[in-house]
Amino acid sequence: MAHVTDFAEAGFDSLHQELQWRGLIAQSTDPKQLAEALDGDPITFYCGFDPTAASLHVGNLVQLIIMRHLQAAGHHPIALVGGATGLIGDPRQSGERTLNPRDVVAGWAERLRAQIGGILETSGDNPVRFVSNYDWTASMSVIDFLRDVGKNFRLGTMLSKDVVARRLKSEDGISFTEFSYQVLQGNDFLHLYDAFRCTLEIGGSDQWGNLTSGLDLIRKVRGVTVNVFTSPIITDAQGHKFGKSEGNAVWLDPAMLSPYRFYQFWFNRPDAEVVGLLKTFTFLPKAEIERLAEETTTNPGAREAQRTLAWEVTSLVHGEDATRQAIAASLALFGRGGDLKDVDEATLESALEGLGVDDGQGGTRLATAEPGVRVTQAGVLAGLFRSVSEARKTIASGGVYLNNARVGDVDAVIGEDDFLHGRFALLRRGRKSLGVISRG
pLDDT recorded at residue 409? 94
Average pLDDT, integer, range 376-401: 95
**What pLDDT, on the 0 to 100 scale, is given for residue 234?**
84
3 state DSSP class of 45: strand
Q: Using pLDDT thresholds of 50, 70 and 90, give the confidence band for residue 140.
A: confident
Tens digit of each residue's pLDDT (9 = 90 or more) over 329-379: 888 887 777 788 888 898 888 888 878 777 777 777 889 999 999 999 999
pLDDT for 98 beyond 90: no
CB atoms within 10 A of CB 288: 15
CATH class of 357-439: alpha beta
In percent, how much of the chain has pLDDT > 90?
63
Fold of domain 259-342: Tyrosyl-Transfer RNA Synthetase (1.10.240)
Domain 7-234 is in which class?
alpha beta
pLDDT of residue 337: 73
Q: What is the pLDDT of residue 7?
A: 66
What's the rounded mean pLDDT across residues 153-157?
78
Residue 4: its pLDDT value, please? Answer: 43
| Alpha carbon of residue 282 to chain centroid | 13
Looking at residue 244, what is its pLDDT? Answer: 52
Per DSSP bridges, beta strands 44-49 and 76-81 are: parallel
What confidence score (pLDDT) does residue 3 get? Answer: 45
Please, where in the chain does CATH 3.10.290.10 lie?
357-439
Pure H helices in 27-131: 31-39, 58-72, 102-119
Please work out, in degrees rounded to the nearest 5, the angle formed at the alpha carbon of residue 9 by the alpha carbons of 21 and 294. 55
pLDDT band at 2; cut points 50, 70, 90: very low
* pLDDT tens digits along 17-27: 999 999 999 99
Residue 1 banded pLDDT, cuts 50, 70, 90: very low
β-strands 44-49, 357-358: how paired? unpaired
- Which residues are 357's β-sheet partners? 365
Q: Indicate where the chain has its CATH 1.10.240.10 domain(s).
A: 259-342
Kindly report the average pLDDT of the chain as a whole number: 89
Confidence at 6, pLDDT banded by 50, 70, 90: low
Coil, helix or strand at residue 122: coil
pLDDT at 297: 95
Read off the pLDDT band of 243 (50, 70, 90). Answer: low
- Looking at residue 195, its pLDDT comes to 97
What whole-number percentage of the chain has pLDDT above 70? 96
Calculate mean pLDDT across residues 97-124.
Answer: 93
Outline which parts of the chain fall under CATH 3.40.50.620.
7-234
Report pLDDT for 18.
95
In the predicted model, is pLDDT for residue 395 greater than 70? yes
Whether the per-residue pLDDT at 402 is higher than 90: the answer is yes
Q: 32-68: per-residue pLDDT in tens?
A: 999 999 999 999 999 999 998 999 999 999 999 999 9
Q: What is the pLDDT of residue 274?
A: 96
C-beta atoms surrounding 21 within 10 Å: 15
What's the pTM? 0.86
- Residue 146's pLDDT band, with cuts at 50, 70 and 90, is confident
pLDDT for the residue 339: 80
Least confident of 229-233, 235-239, 426-430: 235-239
User: Is the CB of residue 64 less than 8 Å from the CB of residue 22?
Assistant: no
Provide mean pLDDT across the span 208-233: 93
400 phi and psi, to 5 degrees? -125, 140
